[in-house]
Structure 1
Amino acid sequence: MNDNVVIKENSFLNINKASANGVMARIFLAFLTTAGIFYVNIMPAIIDGLKDGAGFTDQQAGFVGSANLYGAAFGALLAVFIIKKINWQRWSYALLVAILAIDFVCIYINSPTMMIAIRALHGITGGLLVGIGFGIISRTSEADKTFGYLLLIQWSLGGLGIMFLPGLVPEYGTAAMFISLMVFTVVTLMMLPFLGDYPIKNDEHKSTNTAKIKRLPLMLTLFAIFMFQGANMGLFAYVIGLAKAEGLMIDFISTSLGLASWIALFGAFLVIVIGTKYGRTVPIIAAIVLTAISTWLLHFSESANVYLIANIIIGITWAFILPYLFGICSELDKAGQMAALGGFASKMGLASGPMVAALFLGNDNYGLLIDMAAIGLVICAIAAFYPARLLDTAK
């Protein structure tokens, strides 16, 4: 029977469920995992919208974003401890409704302090949902492909948000941003009933409590995820300022970054197509090295072509590498705890990268920032080599 069709019937809801490892199930799981942290993919639009629509300062809007991300990291960490003990579907329904309510409340908040507090709560709620989603994805076959769908959806819909939301905020205020997040949540709620149970098998229960999960490969993988996200986001947060310092015009900068975001979909699509056909070691290491080289080429951003091409390559490899790194976590523990822990490492990297970069940026010292990002990526490649090679050898 075709693995992509809907075949399983739910006796309670009297609806058909998507095949556990089919394309539709992978897409639904990707939506579920994205719903908790979709704001990250439209973060530039949200920051700009808070400034234009609510009158926040740069610092206040930035604190809102940081509160969301650090809250998400805490929520993802919490998922590590509960993923094996909960009814993940009931929790997902409850968390999606909570996210919907929080985004609705945010429409009417004008105080920066209150917004920071509420978005931190949103981050914890969404991060917990993301951690649960990661854990369930790890129970699918070829989890790397499912993570590929996750990145595909995040980059494509994030690109749409960044493209259209800034133009809506002047007319509709911050409501435009939060309503867009609510729409995404409602769509995800409509998909959730079609997902199967994804129970933990007996041997997967045992694997979490035995030496089958090797600590060194796990720690190296989590460190690689943290370094990869931190290095990329630390530079990405200032990539517009870098281009302006090199004399590039804002229209070209915006077009370049938008184009890079859309072309980056190819990276996630490539993971879906090839999966682990060529193992994990060669794709991961080659792509990280290519990312580091492209990052270093940003030293020559006075050339518009170099800036454009470097950002396109970084976008493609970013969307290509992450599914493989998350896939390693999934292979180390099919029960889902380690994948949830990978989500925590990812959120900490995303939140910490810009903060560390700000400490070293100083008086527009973008050259040092580029070097730090490139070195961080090299360290990431070194850390990822052993766990990737270990899984390839076992396979």
Structure 2
Amino acid sequence: MRHSGSLPVNTQQPFFAYVFLAFIAMATLAYLNYLPALVSSLASVLGFTQTQAGEIVAANGYGALAGSAIAIYLVNKLRWQSTLLSCLALLCLLELTSALANSYALMLGWRFVAGIAGGIGLGMAVSVLARLANPDRAFGMLLFIQFSSGSLVIYLLPQLTLWLGANAVFYVSTAIAALALMLLHCVKAITLTPGALANVDSAVSKPARRLSYVTLLLLAIALYQAAASAIWAYAGLIGQSVAISADKVSSAIAVSGLAGLAGAMLPVLSGRRVSRLTLLLPATALSALSALLLTFNLFPIDAILYGSALALLFFCWPAVVSLLLAVSAELDSCGRLATIATLVSSLGLATGPLLGAALADNNNFSALLFSCAALFLLSYLLLFIPVRVLDRLPTTANSAIDVKPEYQR
């Protein structure tokens, strides 16, 4: 149905809406934030072999990718409130009953279905974040909640296992999904806004030009995520290859990971007061520098330099990703592109370890690190044009917008 007139919309949403919706998006695939704890519980506590634990988690991940792909076709066809309600309610059931799955085959299938439900929920939740007035703040808050919740669960899970038993990790996931259901009730009446292209000159929004912007942006996201996850996957081995003890490597990774919280808050605090290019240039350059600092052929690496280089990467990583997801939100008025960007981001993350496996050579990670530095810089070259174009546009947060009813689904 077409809207016959102009519908004025208040384009500002309260800050709690950003927090609650970011938590809801995190809850759809909460296990990703404490993945090491889930694998450890499956292999060490629940009696599965290490291989089976990895395959169960992989099935969950493949289900999530399938669900995210399905969500691309649903975001502008279904009401986001009822879809998220259904996905979260189903997740509560699947997480809780995972504790009853006592065979490998049953657990494998159960977690695959849970992944599909979570992937659809994530795709829908991301499309909602994309249609908030300040997508930079929305995606920054999402990454902040992901980093902080994952660290908290990993820290508390050993004690929770003593209190709740072997299936504590599934009870935690159930509780997170249940809390997300309650928060959904608080934000179900939030008014969403379309992306920045609703206000752009027709020459900028021509299909061919817009497609080129979208292609460049998605390539930038994929390349940056692949490079960052490649370093993350081999971070421990990189440290050990330069004779840093295993204890110091673990401590450096744990402490430097806290820098991700600060990086995720950067877009939240800056909003649109600082242009995205102004933030992305140093962030991608510092990401490349972090890769070079880990290359012992250039510098003698000690534990302090090793931890500092990782902290630099972890600070830049969530900032870059949240800013690029915000750009994708403004290139599409219904949130579908943000869902696609999330799927591309996941594929980039999955490709990183494969890249590392191909380039690592007998504890020599120079080729991998130089390649990752090049990919970081290449991602900036790819994102430069679409981000610059959107930086020159009036933001949706500062203008009244005519909204078609289908965008309010």
> Normalising by structure 2, what TM-score?
0.84
Pick closer, same or farther for the CA change 1:169–1:353 going to 2, 3 Å: farther
Contact 2:236 2:249 in 1 (8 A): yes
Distance verdict in 2 for CA 1:51–1:332, change over 3 Å: same
Q: Which residue of 1 aligns with 2:212?
A: 216
Pairing 1:127–2:126 present = no
Structure 2: distance between partners of 1:295 and 1:335? 37
Distance 1:371 1:28 in 2: 39
In 2, distance between residues paired with 1:120 and 1:205? 38
SS at match of 2:228: helix
Rounded Cα–Cα distance in structure 2 between residues aligned with 1:187 and 1:59: 32
Q: 2:260 aligns with which of 257, 261, 264?
A: 264
Instruction: Give the corresponding residue for 1:9.
Output: none
**CA–CA distance in 1 between the matches of 2:95 and 2:151?**
20
* C-alpha displacement of 1:252: 2.3
Provide, for residues 5-54 of structure 1, a one-character-per-residue CA deviation record: whole Å limited to 9, x for no partner.
Answer: xxxxxxxxxxxxxx961110000110111011221111122222222113
2 CA distance for matches of 1:295 and 1:173? Answer: 41
Q: Distance in 1 between matches of 2:361 and 2:136?
A: 39
Matched ranges for 1:293-312 at <5 A: 293-300=289-296, 302-312=301-311
Task: Find the aligned partners of 2:142 and 2:95 in 1 and give their Cα distance.
Answer: 22
Once the two structures are aligned, what percentage of the paired residues are identical?
29
Q: Which of 81, 87, 105 in structure 1 is aligned with 2:97?
A: 105
In structure 1, distance between residues paired with 2:232 and 2:194: 41
Select 2:231's aligned residue among 214, 231, 235: 235
Rounded to whole Å, the distance in 1 between the matches of 2:343 and 2:288 is 23
Q: Deviations over 1:148-178 (max 9, x none)?
A: 1111111111111222325655786641211
Which whole-Å CA distance do the structure 1 matches of 2:199 and 2:137 have between them? 25
> Quick one: which of 178, 185, 196 aligns to 2:177?
185
Letter in 1 for 2:340: L
Do the aligned partners of 2:239 and 2:249 also contact (CA within 8 Å) in 1? yes
CA contact (8 A) 1:69 1:350 kept: no
**C-alpha separation in 2, matches of 1:206 and 1:389:** 16
Contact kept, 8 Å, 2:196 with 2:333, in 1: the verdict is no
1:192 CA drift (Å):
0.4
Structure-2 separation of matches of 1:45 and 1:325: 29
Structure 1 residues 41 and 201: CA distance shift in structure 2, 3 A: closer
CA contact (8 A) 2:132 2:193 kept: no
Q: Residues of 2 paired with 1:121 and 1:357: CA distance? A: 30
- The match for 2:381 is 382
Out of 282, 287, 295, the residue aligned to residue 286 of structure 1 is: 282
**Structure 1 position 278, deviation (Å):** 2.1
Q: Measure, in 2, the Cα distance between the counterparts of 1:345 and 1:159.
A: 25
Structure 1: 5+ residue runs without aligned partners? Answer: 1-18
1:309 to 1:336, Cα distance in 2 relative to 1, 3 A: same
Shift of 1:247: 2.5
**CA deviation digits over 1:104-123, x for unaligned, max 9?**
22223344444333222222
Residues 374 and 65 (structure 1 numbering): CA distance in 2 closer, same or farther, change over 3 Å? farther
Q: Which of 55, 62, 86 is the equivalent residue of 1:70?
A: 62
- Does the 8 Å CA contact 2:275/2:391 hold for their aligned counterparts? yes
* Structure 2 unaligned regions, length at least 5: 1-10, 395-409
SS at match of 1:299: coil
Question: Could you list the per-position Cα deviations for residues 280-321 of structure 1 after superposition, in whole angstroms to 9, with x for gaps in the alignment?
Answer: 112112201101110221123841001111111111111211
> 1:230–1:350: 8 Å Cα contact kept in structure 2?
yes
* SS state at 1:347 partner: helix
1:370 to 1:49, Cα distance in 2 relative to 1, 3 A: farther
Distance 1:355 1:50 in 2: 24
Which residue in 1 is equivalent to 2:5? none
TM-superposed CA distance for 1:263, in Å, is 2.6
The CA deviation string for residues 228-274 of structure 1, in whole angstroms up to 9 with x for no partner, is 22211122122122223333233322222222222321112121111
Residues 141 and 171 of structure 1, relative CA distance in 2, 3 Å threshold: closer
Aligned partner of 2:350 in structure 1 is: 351
Quick check: 1:44 aligned with 2:72? no
Deviation at 1:64, TM superposition (A): 2.8
Matches within 5 A, 1:241-260: 241-260=237-256
Q: Which amino acid aligns with 1:155?
A: F
More moved, 84-93 vs 238-247: 238-247
C-alpha RMSD of matched pairs (Å): 2.7
1:341 Cα deviation (Å)?
0.9
| 1:198 paired residue among 184, 191, 196 | 191
With the length of structure 1 as denominator, give the TM-score of the two structures: 0.87
Report the Cα distance in structure 2 between the residues aligned to 1:54 and 1:318, rounded to whole angstroms. 33
